Amino acid sequence: MNTENFYLDPAQDTEVAWAQRKETTLATLKMFRLALDAVRRHSEWVETRHGISAAELWALWELAQTPGMRVVDLSKAMALPRGNTETLLNGLIQRGLVKTGDTQTHAGSGVHFVTFDGQRIADASPQFGQGVLKAAMQHMPDAALIKLAKAMSELVQNLPFLEQSAALQPMADLLRPSRETPAITVNPIQPPAF
C-alpha cells in the first residue's frame, strides 16, 4: 500500500485511514445515487401528474413568482441557454400555459405570463417548482451550501468525460439515456496540488 498517498492523514494508521477513505467514498456515492434518484422520480412525477417536464414546471414556477419575465431573465433564473428557454416557452405557449405580453399593456413587448391553467400547475407544486435539488439546497445553511459548492468544484475537476455544456442542461434531461452519441472529451484526472 502506498503510504505516501496525499489523501491519507499521516497521523493515522495506514490501514485505518484507507478503510475510512473507502467507507466515506462509498457512503458519498450512495448519497449521489439518492440525489439523482430523487431528481428522476420528481421528473417522472411531474410528467405523470401535469403532462409537462420538470424544466417546464420550473419555468412556470419562475413566471408565477415574477410575472412579466423576458426570455433572457428566465434563462438567467434557470441557468439555461437562451435558445433552450425559448423552446421551453414556445412549448408552454402552445399548451396554453404561458402567454406572451398582455393584450392591453404589454402587447408585443416580449414579456411572459402564466395563464390560469399554468398558474394552477405552478400552485400545485410550490415546494418543488424549481426542482428537488435546488429546493433542497435552498434549505441548507449558508455555510453548508458554500462547503458543498467547494466540494462539488473539486469533484468536477477530477471527473473524466466532462462536458461543460451539461452545466446548462436541465437535470432530468441529463438523466435520460441519450439517443445520439455525443462527442466525448476525456479529462485526464489531475491530483490536487499540495
Question: pLDDT tens digits, residue range 113-142?
Answer: 999 999 999 998 877 888 889 899 999 999
φ/ψ of residue 67, rounded to 5 = -60, 145
When pLDDT is averaged across residues 167-189 and rounded to a whole number, the result is 63
Amino acid at position 13, single letter? D
Give the angle 122-39-41 at the CA atoms, nearest 5°. 85
pLDDT in tens, 143-158: 999 999 999 999 999 8
pLDDT of 164: 87
State the fold for domain 14-175: Arc Repressor Mutant, subunit A (1.10.10)
Query: How far from 94 is each of 49, 88, 97, 99, CA to CA, in Å?
Result: 19, 10, 8, 9
Residues above pLDDT 70, as percent of the chain: 81
